[in-house]
Structure 1
Amino acid sequence: MTLPVALSGSDVIGQAKTGTGKTLGFGIPLLQRIVVAADVEAGRAPAGTVAGRTPQALVVVPTRELCVQVTNDLQAAGKLRNVRVLAVYGGRAYEPQIDTLKKGVDVVVGTPGRLLDLVGQGHVNLSEVKMLVLDEADEMLDLGFLPDVEKIVERLPARRQTMLFSATMPGQIITLARRYMSRPTHIRASEPDDLGATVKSVQQRVYRAHGLDKPELMARVLQANGRGLVMVFCRTKRTAADLAQGLAERGFASAAVHGDLGQGAREQALRAFRNGKVDVLVATDVAARGIDVEGVTHVVNYQCPDDEKTYLHRIGRTGRAGASGTAVTLVDWEDIPRWSLINKALDLGFADPVETYSTSPHLFTDLDIPTTVGSVLPRADRTRAGLGAEDVEDLGETGKNSRGASGRKGGAGGRSRSGPAASGPSTAGPAAADAESGEPSRRRAPGSRRRRRVNGAEAGEAVATAVAPSVAAGAAGAPVAAFVEPTAVVVPAPADGGADADGDGERAPRRRRRRTRRRPEGAEAGAVATDEG
């Protein structure tokens, strides 16, 4: 349905269920409009129409994984015509991408962030782009991506063809899309007898499961009869990492894909999954958009999706291109309200999920699981090579894990606060010396606060340490009238909560850093109080 309209040069809004071949829906018209040197030599295009190093088409996608997949599909489709396709996305070094751009490309497939960086640096010239494609348009035109999309569109020629493709496209997104398009044709592909939002070939099962029993339940699901590749989706990165590690300890060949991993590790996991070295891929929603892997028979929503769109994209990883598949959703008790909204929006018929545990008989019956399986995969069934068998490609990454390498260590910085740098006026010299010699074993730990309370016993020790230097000062000829009755100075301090400010004992170091200017006044007040005593 899309090809005749797209080949005519009209703007198109294409909407279809996931797994129905939207990539080739824009890929074939895109490759058809690309002019290569062979077309000029064969007389199919006039001389001088080849743009050379300047891209003729631009495809913008929301995720790195989808960028790699679309690039591979376009390269395979345009191989006979020698169409040059380049993937531009973050996580890789700039230099290889810049070198390829200098040599010349025909199609650029990229994510908004890296694409805008290269455009701003002058490495990507968009003045000759004849076709713009926004894949997964509802995500690209969402409020978070809209500023980047607008910056990209502003750099494109006014005379161009724009195509938007996505599985879900609300009315508000369509309104925003029309701002960038000229009289677009909205094409919605669906079967006459298929009025639901999901694909009929996907068998859906929804269970109410307890969080502590989910790992055991997952171990049973992964041992179902006829099970091929499995994709497990989680809402959080930590859950995905923990689940992948737990399944590996149970004997399953599993790998994780989430945002905390570097791009090299993410691509390694996807390659191992495509090549069959691992058969369980645990991922966050970063892998739910457009990823097409042949042989996925089961999709498990380990955690309830956020909304109906996420649910559709998750279960759309199976049952693609007419194949059959199974989608299992595990709903926690606290996620029942969220699931109720998803079920109502999609009219799934699972308003009240069945309470299910790893030993529930209906679980084994629904998913065709042998009743003899346990929580650990038998050694005889561990035939996959594993993630370690897949090489990690050197992408020249800028360092995903380098964030936080400097840390927030107290170290010397913390100690310098309590060291000699905190010196006060000359009148506080003896007090500063007493503060260092009074409690040598109580050294402040990095990051801890200096302020502390003084009890009665500590006050007594402070008196003893304060009197000795005073007597020594008197022997040297200094006035000793202020130290005739030292108990009159210190004893009232614990009684009134430590409000005395005469600068003796432990009180001076505590106030030295914040109230340095008031200390001489406090010392004078202490001297007056001593005279009066």
Structure 2
Amino acid sequence: MSFKNLNLINPIVRAATEAGCAKPSELQNDIIPQILNGRDILCCMSNDMERLTSFIMPIIQLLKKNNTDHNETRVLILTSTKESALRIEENFKVYTKYLPLAQLSVYDGISNGTQLSSLRKRLDLIIATPDKLLELDEQRHITLSKIEMLVVDEADELLESNSGTFIKLIHKLPIKRQNIFYSSTISKDLTIFAERTLNNRLEINKKDYFSAVS
């Protein structure tokens, strides 16, 4: 099986191959087509590289589709820490080698001047920690009204450590959007939140794959 079989375009497949990711895992094989088809997903998995590539590659393809017709930020990726945001940012740079995107990471430690300068330009996607993003939103430096896709990485940690800010941000997004939630555990709170937030969701648990193999 190749990434080409998942209907990913050649520039993405080429970048993945050069990065040492020549073929999809069984889990990526299931997730990537669902994201391309616009499905809401709740996925329980912890492997960083497998998780990141499973949403980064289809996001790049979706953003490049009719890209010139959009002047607002289309994708928001929320994560719990600066370190996680940096990891996602670096992986996007790897897989956008042949399809550059306008992206911005928003987290504590970056000067407001740098962030505000970037926010004045058209952005395809924003990678953010909730507190910093909400601060910029409340100061009216950013608009979230045209977001088409929300990706939440480490959803369990966000609900546990920063639920108030996280939920405030969710309420600022358009109701009609695609939602992709990743979590290393599926708590009762996350299950309830997913039931209220995700539409016709597909639930994927990596443990199911281990069970199928054993």
1:117 paired with 2:135, answer: yes
Deviation at 1:19, TM superposition (A): 4.2
Instruction: Provide the rounded CA distance (Å) in 2 between the counterparts of 1:192 and 1:19.
Output: 20
Deviation at 1:147, TM superposition (A): 1.3
Deviations 1:150-202 (A, max 9, x none): 1111111111001101221123321122221112110112323667xxxxxxx
Q: Are the aligned partners of 1:75 and 1:84 in contact in 2 as well (CA < 8 Å)? A: no
**Structure ranking higher in helix proportion:** 2
1:131/1:191 CA distance change after superposition, 3 Å: same
1:194/1:16 CA distance change after superposition, 3 Å: farther
1:186 paired with 2:207, answer: no
1:172/1:60 CA distance change after superposition, 3 Å: same
Question: What is residue 60 of structure 1 aligned with on the other side?
Answer: 78
Q: Secondary structure at the match of 1:30?
A: helix
1:3 paired with 2:20, answer: no
Amino acid at match of 2:134: L
Q: Are the aligned partners of 1:15 and 1:168 in contact in 2 as well (CA < 8 Å)? A: yes
Question: What is residue 94 of structure 1 aligned with on the other side?
Answer: 112
Question: What is residue 167 of structure 1 aligned with on the other side?
Answer: 184
C-alpha RMSD of the superposition: 1.9
Amino acid at match of 2:139: Q
Question: What is residue 24 of structure 2 aligned with on the other side?
Answer: none
Instruction: Provide the rounded CA distance (Å) in 2 between the counterparts of 1:146 and 1:49.
Output: 34
1:17/1:67 CA distance change after superposition, 3 Å: closer
Instruction: Provide the rounded CA distance (Å) in 1 between the counterparts of 2:31 and 2:94.
Output: 20
Output aligned runs, 1:267-346, within 5 Å: none
Question: What is residue 148 of structure 1 aligned with on the other side?
Answer: 165
Higher gyration radius (CA): 1
Question: What is residue 61 of structure 2 aligned with on the other side?
Answer: 32
Q: Comparing both chains, which one has the higher relative contact order based on Cα–Cα distances under 8 Å and sequence gaps of 6 or more?
A: 2
Deviations 1:370-396 (A, max 9, x none): xxxxxxxxxxxxxxxxxxxxxxxxxxx
Q: 2:175 aligns with which of 143, 146, 158?
A: 158
Instruction: Provide the rounded CA distance (Å) in 1 between the counterparts of 2:73 and 2:158.
Output: 21
Deviations 1:251-304 (A, max 9, x none): xxxxxxxxxxxxxxxxxxxxxxxxxxxxxxxxxxxxxxxxxxxxxxxxxxxxxx
Instruction: Provide the rounded CA distance (Å) in 2 between the counterparts of 1:92 and 1:82.
Output: 22
Report how many aligned residue pairs link the two structures. 183
1:18/1:193 CA distance change after superposition, 3 Å: same
Question: What is residue 7 of structure 2 aligned with on the other side?
Answer: none
Q: Secondary structure at the match of 1:141?
A: helix
Q: Secondary structure at the match of 1:145?
A: helix
Amino acid at match of 2:202: T
Question: What is residue 21 of structure 2 aligned with on the other side?
Answer: none
1:154/1:17 CA distance change after superposition, 3 Å: closer
Instruction: Provide the rounded CA distance (Å) in 2 between the counterparts of 1:107 and 1:148.
Output: 20
TM-score scaled by length of structure 1: 0.33
Deviations 1:47-87 (A, max 9, x none): x6222xx2110000000001111011112212322211111
Q: 1:49 aligns with which of 37, 46, 69?
A: 69
1:82 paired with 2:95, answer: no
1:19/1:97 CA distance change after superposition, 3 Å: closer
Q: Secondary structure at the match of 1:191?
A: helix
Deviation at 1:20, TM superposition (A): 5.6
Instruction: Provide the rounded CA distance (Å) in 1 between the counterparts of 2:111 and 2:74.
Output: 24
What residue ranges of structure 1 are gaps of 5+ in the alignment?
40-44, 196-533
Question: What is residue 50 of structure 2 aligned with on the other side?
Answer: 21
